[in-house]
């Protein structure tokens, strides 16, 4: 089953200046995450315009069917953060429930968690 990383491509850090810093920070982070995941069959990266976490830019979500889902923020648009996101997504993908032991988290994602969302129940017709 694939793990989906959704990157807010409209995020911009507080100091972003449209006159000087095109493209937005979220777009740069999305490109870096896409590049880091390029050859990974188990990871899909998609973009979303606005994850509504502007005060915690740059934001991402990590999701997979029948697993806990996570929202993370306060990333910088750099290769180290993109690699940390991918490294965590691979651990998440290998987990049956989506829980990843803290001691295995990449340093680049520690302190970035915003929310953990429960597994969605299956519709009664699927049970």
- pLDDT tens for 12-69 read 988 877 787 688 999 999 999 999 999 999 999 999 999 999 889 999 999 999 999 9
In the prediction, which pLDDT does 21 show?
62
Residue with tokens 């988290």: 105
Is the pLDDT at 126 greater than 70? The verdict is no
pLDDT class of 124 with cuts at 50, 70, 90: confident
Which strands make up the sheet holding 69-72, listed edge to edge?
A: 43-48, 3-8, 60-63, 69-72, 113-117
Q: Spell out the SS3 assignment of the chain.
A: CCEEEEEECCCCCCCCCCCCCCCCHHHHHHHHHHHHCCCCCCEEEEEECCCCCHHHCCCEEEECCCCCEEEECCCCCCHHHHHHHHHHHHHHHHCCCCCCCHHHCCHHHCCCEEEEECCCCCCHHHC
In the prediction, which pLDDT does 34 show?
98
Q: 27-30 contacts: CB < 8 A, separation 24 or more?
A: 28/77, 29/58, 29/60, 29/75, 29/76, 29/77, 29/81, 29/82
In the prediction, which pLDDT does 127 show?
58
* pLDDT 10s digits, 67-121: 999 999 999 999 999 999 999 999 999 999 999 999 999 999 999 999 999 998 8
The better pLDDT of the pair 11, 123 is held by: 11
């Amino acid at each position: 089953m694939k793990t989906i990383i959704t990157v807010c491509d409209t995020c911009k850090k507080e100091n972003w200046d449209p006159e000087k810093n095109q493209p937005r920070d979220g777009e740069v982070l999305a490109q870096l995450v896409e590049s880091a995941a390029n050859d990974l069959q188990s990871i899909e990266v998609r973009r979303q315009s606005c994850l509504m976490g502007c005060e915690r830019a740059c934001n991402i979500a990590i999701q997979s069917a029948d697993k806990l889902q996570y929202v993370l923020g306060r990333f910088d648009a750099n290769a180290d953060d993109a690699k940390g996101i991918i490294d965590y997504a691979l651990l998440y993908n290998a987990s049956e429930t989506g829980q990843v032991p803290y001691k295995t988290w990449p340093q680049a994602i520690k302190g970035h968690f915003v929310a953990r969302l429960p597994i969605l129940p299956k519709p009664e017709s699927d049970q």
